[in-house]
Amino acid sequence: MNPRIHGKNVVITGASSGIGEQMAIKAAESGANLVLLARRVEKLEELKSFLESRYSNKVWIHSLDVSERENVEAVFSAIFAEAGKIDVLVNNAGFGIFEEAHLAKWGDIERMFAVNVLGLISCTQMVIEHMQKNRSGHIVNIASQAGKIATPKSSIYAATKHAVLGFSNSLRMELSTYGVFVTTVNPGPIATNFFEIADRSGTYVQNIQRFMLKPEKVAEKVVAAMLTNTREINLPRWMNAGSVFYTLFPRLVEKVGKNAFFKK
């Protein structure tokens, strides 16, 4: 539970499944009003019905493709019209495809950057001036441990998440004088349908299944940090320790960890 978000308006992109869905549930438990965004509106309708049957919060839903700028502008205009204010924006929409760089399809590359980077920036731009004016707010960007330590077959996905971290780190400094918080969430592999697209062979999931995070646990950590000045949420801790070690000793990690990295 997070009493700080009781009665606040929380916007979540990619809310139809996985940690987006779980964050919606956890935020509702804390008394937040929710604006749920995703491309699959039928999934959002199911989630809205579930939440309204259990909680008294307001729940709005909109179909949104974050990679379409005009769609983003129209949806956020509608959000401000109906909700009046956005207290927390969670940029959760994103996907990955694991493939060696020379085999990656150009359409997949463009789509990953359009959703994971440009879409995230686009949604963020919609709330910056609003939060600056209110001198409060929280932008939560779901990144990845892949944004800290890249591995083979994730070159494009890792590049998008490195971009998210760079954008977030700069934005955090820009907004610090306005009382607006910026948090990056850097999870390792999570047991969601993300890997139905990312790992089409199923090999990677088989190799790391016992280490995969539960989406509800990740969501719990994120919701607990809402409207607090939290710089990063790194899960699991041992994996983040590895990324710190990698920053200090990149050659050693790449040499010693080579076999493990190629398990995708």
Q: Which residues are catalytic?
A: 157
Distance between CA atoms of 222 and 23, rounded to whole angstroms?
A: 7
C-alpha closest to that of 30 among 3, 59, 60, 58: 3
104-120: b (≥16 Cβ within 10 Å) or e = beeebbeebbbbbbbbb
3-class secondary-structure state, position 229: coil
Determine if the peptide bond prior to 236 is cis (ω within 30°).
yes
31: left (phi over 0), alpha (psi -120 to 50) or beta: left
Task: Give Cα 183 distance to the centre of its chain.
Answer: 10
